[in-house]
Amino acid sequence: MQADARRRPWTTAAFFWMYAGWAAVGAALAEPLVGALTAAFWAELGLAALLMPGRSAEDETDPLVLQIRVAAAIEGVSRSMGVPVPGVTVRETPGRLASARLLRGRPQVVISPRLVARMDDRELRGLLAHELAHLARGDLRAARLRLRLAYAFGLLLGLGAAIGLGGQSVLLLPSCAAAWFAGTLAGLILTAPLNWRREIRADADAAGLTGDPEALTRSLLMADALAGDSRSRVRPTALRWAVAPFYWRFPTHPSTSRRVGALQALAAGRAPS
Ligand SMILES: [Zn+2]
């Protein structure tokens, strides 16, 4: 596992840098501006792939203990929601601390070990209830639709670039690939706010089910702080600027302050019990 985690960034980086080199040759022999921009794009991706902290020894403290703790909590929450118990994976995923997804058609919750280790049981229940609410409400189908729209947009841009530049030279192939990549990313960013309503609803569902909006609020704030902390783990420090764009918050969720505000309003609106 460790060897895998270490080898993968080098392979990915080498792949992106090969594209950068290819584009640089394209810049020298065909289209100077397009080629140079493309070379910079792929070189930056290669650098980021190498520097982004992935799995490391400090993330893997007692993974089994964390897994058991999450599995026990999710069973309780699923039962009280009346939904099937999803699978649980405790591991780091770049850019996401907790998420629900379908793995070969089977619902699964993926959660960061660093986040689990910091949360108490109430906070963990709140966060898991939020992810289960997504599964129960069919939010993953909407997410898949947004993903397909983004892919289609990327493909359109890539094809546009291929038609615009393509006929000229195979040297500009990395530019078409960059257009496809950037187009997909743009598609994801543009469609992301369509998800906000579902996030607020999943928060409300989770707060209602657990009767504990305060704990969910704390877990949201904790996840926010931890996401900021990930940035500070990039080494060497002098190269942190290079990965800065990869830590911009992807706008699939409303801001944490907005979510916390909605939860506070909910807590205030509830009759005291
Ligand atoms: Zn969510």
**What would the pLDDT profile of 165-217 be if each residue is shown by its tens digit?**
766 678 888 888 899 999 999 999 999 999 999 999 999 999 999 999 999 99
Q: How confident is the model at residue 3 (pLDDT cuts 50, 70, 90)?
A: very low
- Calculate how far, in angstroms, residue 50's C-alpha sits from the geometric centre of ligand 1: 28
- Calculate how far, in angstroms, residue 208's C-alpha sits from the geometric centre of ligand 1: 15
Out of 11-15, 55-59, 269-273, which region has the weakest mean confidence (pLDDT)? 55-59
| pTM (predicted TM-score) | 0.81
pLDDT reading at 244 higher than 60: yes
**Alpha-carbon distance 173 to 144, whole Å?**
28
- Calculate how far, in angstroms, residue 130's C-alpha sits from the geometric centre of ligand 1: 6
Cβ-defined contacts of 224-230 (< 8 Å, 24+): 224/256, 226/97, 226/112, 226/114, 226/115, 226/118, 227/97, 230/53
Listing DSSP states for 129-180 in one string gives: HHHHHHHHTTHHHHHHHHHHHHHHHHHHHHHHHHHHHGGG-GGGHHHHHHHH
pLDDT digits (tens, 9 = 90+) for 112-169: 998 999 999 999 999 999 999 999 999 999 999 999 999 999 999 988 888 887 666 7
- Calculate how far, in angstroms, residue 180's C-alpha sits from the geometric centre of ligand 1: 27
- Calculate how far, in angstroms, residue 84's C-alpha sits from the geometric centre of ligand 1: 18
- Calculate how far, in angstroms, residue 141's C-alpha sits from the geometric centre of ligand 1: 13
More confident site: 232 or 104: 104
